[in-house]
């Protein structure tokens, strides 16, 4: 049992979207690597919950059916909870572009409901799982995640004199998660043709386990109001395609609506209020609740700095990608 996770001992932790790619990985990691008293999976899908319960068979698990759009259900679920990890979101970009109001109801209004339930139940810490799409968004998904970040950060003011703290974690493409390109390429490999939107495309790369560990570390470190951004490698989409299916033909289909050539985790505007640490960046809030000197460690980033997937200092080679894919 890691000493780094000792702060979770005897804590009750609730994960919204607990049956999703990140949520289920987070729950499994906690069961194996922490002494949490209770872990609550909050999600809409009763079938996934049933399968997860049958697979894990752990007395510390609780399963709550519910939707983040339903404030009353959240109020009931959050009773006695110490830590909330808010991972529930609609994130399939084409679907969201076609059904914009549904994304707003879940990703924005649902986040507002989570905030209200956290404050009203005196939950000590809440952290939002955000995305690189929130930086300079060009699609509705990114816009809703940007709005969710803004809501979560300013929720620290709404909390008033309570102990409740809100922070965000923002990272890039998660390898193997639903909707990511890796499972798509693995599926297309069988047919011998991989579809690429643009050969110039680059993406950040993080595994589910790395994401889970980073979130736990941020929960431990958070003062309330920060956006945490991990330092992670970039990869070229063409290298990923060759690592998965070196003999497959490549078909260029063009960039889809709402898609970028490169992703940005930290914009030059956000960098003005950011600090760089050994393994991550922190964007500090600009509001009165943030006490100067909270982050004694770290150094300000240079003027005009931007953390982008195409100008990243760390890159994965084809061999690195092959090794990573074998672990999936």
**What is the SS3 assignment for the chain?**
CCHHHHHHCCCEEEEECCCCHHHHHHHHHHHHHCCCCEEEEEECCHHHHHHHHHHHCCCCEEEEECCCCCHHHHHHHCCCCCEEEECCCCCCHHHHHHCHHHHHHHHHHHHHHHHHHHHHCCCCEEEEEEEHHHCCCCCHHHHHHHHHHHHHHHHHHHCCCCCCEEEEEEECCECCCCCCHHHHHHHHHCCCEEEECCCCCEEECECHHHHHHHHHHHHHHCCCCCEEEECCCEEEHHHHHHHHCCCCEEEECCCCCCCCCCCEEECHHHHCCEEECCCEEEECCCCCCCCCCCCCCCEECCCCCCEECCCCCCECCHHHHHHHHHCC
* Residue 151, pLDDT score: 98
- As a whole number, mean pLDDT of residues 29-36 equals 96
Residues 8-173+204-232+264-308: name the CATH superfamily: NAD(P)-binding Rossmann-like Domain (3.40.50.720)
Query: What's the whole-model pTM score?
Result: 0.94
* Residue 2, pLDDT score: 57
The residue ranges of every structural domain in the chain are: 8-173+204-232+264-308
Q: Is the pLDDT of residue 72 over 60?
A: yes
Is 133 a residue of the active site?
yes
Per annotation, catalytic residue among 11, 28, 91, 133: 133
pLDDT digits (tens, 9 = 90+) for 250-308: 999 988 777 889 999 999 999 999 999 999 999 999 888 888 767 778 899 999 999 99
């Amino acid at each position: 049992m890691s000493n780094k996770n000792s702060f979770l001992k005897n804590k009750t932790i609730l994960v919204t979207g607990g049956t999703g790619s990140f949520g289920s990985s987070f729950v499994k990691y906690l069961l194996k690597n922490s002494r949490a008293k209770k872990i609550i999976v909050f999600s809409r899908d009763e079938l996934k919950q049933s399968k997860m319960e049958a697979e894990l068979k752990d007395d510390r698990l609780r399963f709550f059916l519910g939707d983040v759009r339903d404030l009353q259900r959240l109020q009931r679920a959050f009773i006695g909870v110490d830590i909330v990890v808010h991972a529930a979101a609609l994130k399939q970009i084409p679907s969201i572009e076609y059904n914009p109001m549904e994304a707003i109801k879940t990703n924005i209004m649902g986040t507002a409901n989570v905030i209200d339930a956290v404050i009203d139940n005196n939950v000590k810490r809440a952290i939002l799982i955000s995305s690189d799409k929130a930086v300079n968004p060009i699609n509705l998904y990114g816009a809703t995640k940007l709005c969710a970040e803004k809501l979560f950060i300013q929720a620290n003011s709404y909390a008033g004199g309570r102990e409740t703290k809100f922070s965000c974690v923002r990272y890039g493409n998660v390898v193997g998660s639903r909707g990511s390109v890796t499972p798509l390429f693995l599926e297309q490999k069988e047919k011998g043709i991989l579809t690429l939107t643009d050969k110039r495309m680059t993406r950040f790369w993080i595994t589910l386990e790395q994401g889970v560990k980073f979130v736990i570390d941020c929960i431990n470190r958070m003062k309330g109001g920060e956006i945490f951004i991990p330092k992670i490698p970039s990869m070229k989409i063409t290298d990923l395609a060759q690592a998965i299916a070196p003999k497959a033909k490549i078909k260029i289909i063009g960039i889809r609506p709402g898609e970028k050539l490169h992703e940005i985790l930290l914009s030059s505007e956000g960098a003005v209020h950011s600090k760089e640490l050994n393994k991550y960046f922190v964007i500090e809030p600009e509001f009165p609740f943030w006490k100067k000197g909270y982050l004694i460690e770290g150094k300000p980033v240079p003027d005009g700095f931007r953390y982008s997937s195409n100008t990243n200092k760390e890159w994965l080679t084809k061999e690195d990608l092959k090794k990573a894919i074998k672990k999936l």
